[in-house]
């Protein structure tokens, strides 16, 4: 069974990841590298460990054992699992962006405030953060909607806000969990185009959980999980159309 998925120039290297919930082995000895500047899809049946792997790679949840190492350009390697809670939170805010199925946007805030928040938690003053947020939203086709609250935007527009928030900080890696799962196929395809442009199109990396093979085929590489193990590691010939 395939379990070792190493590449050169990895931005993230995970080794021997184990994570159990009771008798369930959500991650059962995973070794994987994510190459800088590439899009990697994680597929597999329900309960195979996709979200658990995404959360472990992003330092959201710690594995029971194993290591996750982040190699950012010009910086010393960082062992994510060796950091305390606040250092991991800081790392996530600065180095990673997140796009989830339901956006996880703050409904009481406007689109520009939601995006600006990602900068403000990193210490950028509000006025400068709002200016950069507005620019990011406009680049993603949301000009004129910057001051709408989240509930006043369509599902596709909300996901654009989530993408703007994920990349406005200059995140090196964007993690996405079913980013188009709640959208119709046309809107989903548009959102996926934007997600690709904002990540691999700008030399960043994308790690994306999806059940949709067509979505996965837009990535450079598809990892398939089964029972907490990587059972296939396939290169996608045409690569992403970013
Ligand atoms: N907090 C938790 N408590 C108990 N079991 C959990 C927890 N989180 C995940 N699991 C279990 O670990 C296994 C892997 O879960 P995970 O969410 O990673 O799967 P998945 O492949 O993302 O599934 P889906 O496609 O349904 O979202 C499942 O059997 C799940 O029930």
Range of the domain at 30: 4-235
Q: Are strands 24-35 and 4-5 parallel, antiparallel or unpaired?
A: parallel
In the block, which residue shows the tokens 């010393």?
Answer: 76
Ligand 1: residues within 6 Å at CB? 21, 24, 26, 44, 46-52
The reply to whether 26 falls in a domain is yes
pLDDT digits 0-9 by tens, 91-150: 888 899 999 877 688 989 999 999 999 999 989 999 999 999 999 999 888 999 999 999
Whether 98 contacts 178, CB under 8 Å: no
Q: State whether the Cα torsion 237-163-46-229 is positive or negative.
A: positive
Q: How far away, in angstroms, is 96 Cα from ligand 1 center?
A: 22
The reply to whether 45 falls in a domain is yes
Residue nearest to ligand 1 atom 27, measured at CA: 46
pLDDT digits 0-9 by tens, 159-180: 899 999 999 998 999 999 998 8
The reply to whether 240 falls in a domain is no
The reply to whether 242 falls in a domain is no
The reply to whether 148 falls in a domain is yes
Average pLDDT of 9-14?
Answer: 92
pLDDT of 239 strictly over 50: no
Q: Cα separation of 58 and 229, whole Å?
A: 18
If you average pLDDT over every residue of the chain, what do you get? 90
What is the per-residue pLDDT for 49? Answer: 96
Q: Cα separation of 190 and 141, whole Å?
A: 11
Total tally of structural domains belonging to the chain: 1
The reply to whether 32 falls in a domain is yes
Give the residue, out of 45, 50, 211, with the most ligand 1 atoms within 8 A of its beta carbon, to mutate for a pocket test: 50
Q: How far away, in angstroms, is 51 Cα from ligand 1 center?
A: 7
The reply to whether 166 falls in a domain is yes
One-letter-per-residue 3-state SS of 70-86? ECCCCCCCEEHHHCCHH
25: CATH: 3.40.50.300
What is the per-residue pLDDT for 241? Answer: 52
The reply to whether 77 falls in a domain is yes
Q: Cα separation of 163 and 46, whole Å?
A: 25
Give the residue, out of 26, 41, 224, with the most ligand 1 atoms within 8 A of its beta carbon, to mutate for a pocket test: 26
């Amino acid at each position: 069974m395939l379990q070792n998925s190493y590449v050169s120039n990895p931005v993230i290297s995970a080794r021997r990841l184990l994570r159990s919930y009771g008798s369930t082995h959500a991650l059962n000895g995973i070794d994987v590298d994510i190459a800088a500047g590439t899009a990697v899809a994680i597929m597999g049946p329900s309960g195979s460990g996709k979200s658990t792997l995404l959360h472990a790679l992003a330092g959201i949840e710690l594995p029971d054992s194993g290591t996750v190492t982040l190699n950012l350009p010009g910086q010393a390697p960082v062992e994510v699992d060796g950091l305390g809670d606040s250092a991991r939170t800081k790392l996530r805010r600065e180095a990673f962006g997140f796009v989830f199925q339901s956006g996880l946007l703050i409904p009481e805030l406007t689109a520009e405030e939601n995006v600006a928040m990602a900068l403000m938690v990193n210490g950028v003053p509000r006025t400068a953060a709002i200016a950069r947020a507005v620019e990011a939203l406009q680049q993603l086709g949301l000009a004129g909607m910057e001051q709408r609250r989240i509930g006043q935007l369509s599902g596709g527009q909300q996901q654009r806000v989530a993408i703007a928030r994920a990349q406005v900080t200059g995140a090196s890696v964007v993690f996405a969990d079913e980013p188009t799962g709640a959208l119709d196929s046309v809107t989903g395809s548009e959102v996926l185009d934007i997600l690709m442009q904002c990540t691999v199109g700008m030399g960043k990396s994308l790690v994306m959980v999806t059940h949709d093979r067509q979505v996965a085929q837009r990535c450079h590489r598809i990892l398939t999980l089964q029972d907490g193990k990587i059972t296939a590691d396939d290169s996608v010939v045409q690569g992403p159309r970013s």
